[in-house]
Amino acid sequence: MSDIPASTVHPAPPALNTRQRVISQLLRDKAAMAALTVIILLVLTAIFAPLIVMVLGHGPNEQFRDIGLTPGGVPLPPGPNFLLGTDVVGRDLLARLVVGTQITILVAVTCALTAIAIGIAVGMLAGFRGGLIDTMLSGFVDVVLGLPLLITAVALVSVYGASFPIMMGTIIFFTWGPVARVVRNLVVATKEGEFVDAARMLGASDLRIMVREILPNIAGQVIVYGSLLIPQVIVLEASLSFLGLGVPPPTATWGGIIAENQTNYAVAWWTILFPALFLLAATLAFNVLGDGLRDALDPSSERRTK
């Protein structure tokens, strides 16, 4: 059989080659794969939280003062009836952590995606238009970034009360600004490319150039930043809940569980340790996965996985 002529061999599209390279790089990164496994477990826990609570047989807000506390009123340690022990009022800690995972994942993903969408819109408009629009939008971003988070959150809670929408709105308001700044800088560096000039010569509108030409070229960096934004949102949610500025009790959140049991850490260490481990695992997993995505999307990265 004769060899196939070189002219008949069609190379794979550049986008496909890039996708295959990124996937291959991630699969070789053991740390990123371990982090992805942890994230998948957390997401599955959040999705099947009602089923898990049903299997446990203990509602997250159900108090077991007779069987969930010692005669002296101390929470029970981990055991066969309560796998991770009970909290200060006799509630099943595992059930509350499972429900807290659902709330944390919901808040993290929703707030991160919303902040990224707002940041992309503002950053692309500022970077592409330039001039007065860039000055005004960049100045507004600087004002937002200069506002103190805790003071603003306290003011909102004092006026409107602690609630789920207030907490999410506060987190989104304080996380879209850095995204807008990053996107603006990327657009400024990208809009002078020859492919943008070619699209403009072909009669493409500014909106089409931003959406079809510039956005795909900066999508990789935005995805990496988004993966690193999620752990920031998780920490913000836990911090606000810990300070009583987040979801009001008795709704379970990781930060709220730690706040409710902080005075009993000496006699009920599990009530602090397990929610802290959940919080650590989530933030560490997203950070490690973000590092892996950054290295996979950046061929010139000095850190190569083996």
Distance (Å, whole) CA 195 – CA 208: 13
Domain hosting 255: range is: 15-297
pLDDT of residue 57: 87
pLDDT digits (tens, 9 = 90+) for 127-174: 888 888 888 988 899 888 888 888 888 888 878 877 888 888 889 998
2 assigned to some structural domain:
no
CB within 8 Å of 202: residues ≥ 6 apart: none
Tell whether the model's pLDDT for residue 25 goes beyond 80. no
155 assigned to some structural domain:
yes
Pick the most confident of 145-149, 194-198, 296-300. Answer: 145-149
What's the mean per-residue pLDDT of the chain? 83
pLDDT digits (tens, 9 = 90+) for 265-291: 888 899 999 999 999 999 999 889 888
pLDDT of residue 29: 79
Determine the residue type at 124: M
Distance (Å, whole) CA 53 – CA 50: 5
Cβ proximity of 45 and 56 under 8 Å: no
Distance (Å, whole) CA 194 – CA 198: 6
Please state the rounded mean pLDDT for residues 64-91.
87
pLDDT digits (tens, 9 = 90+) for 168-194: 888 999 899 889 998 998 888 887 777
**Closest C-alpha to 230, from 50, 118, 107, 120:** 107
- For residue 92, the cross-strand partners are 86
303 assigned to some structural domain:
no
Confidence of residue 300 (pLDDT cuts 50, 70, 90): low
Distance (Å, whole) CA 235 – CA 225: 16
150 assigned to some structural domain:
yes
42 assigned to some structural domain:
yes
CA 237-88-91 angle, to 5 degrees, is 80
pLDDT of residue 13: 47
1 assigned to some structural domain:
no
Longest dimension (CA), the chain: 88
74 assigned to some structural domain:
yes
Determine the residue type at 21: R
Residue 127: which CATH number? Answer: 1.10.3720.10
Count of the separate structural domains present in the chain: 1
6 assigned to some structural domain:
no
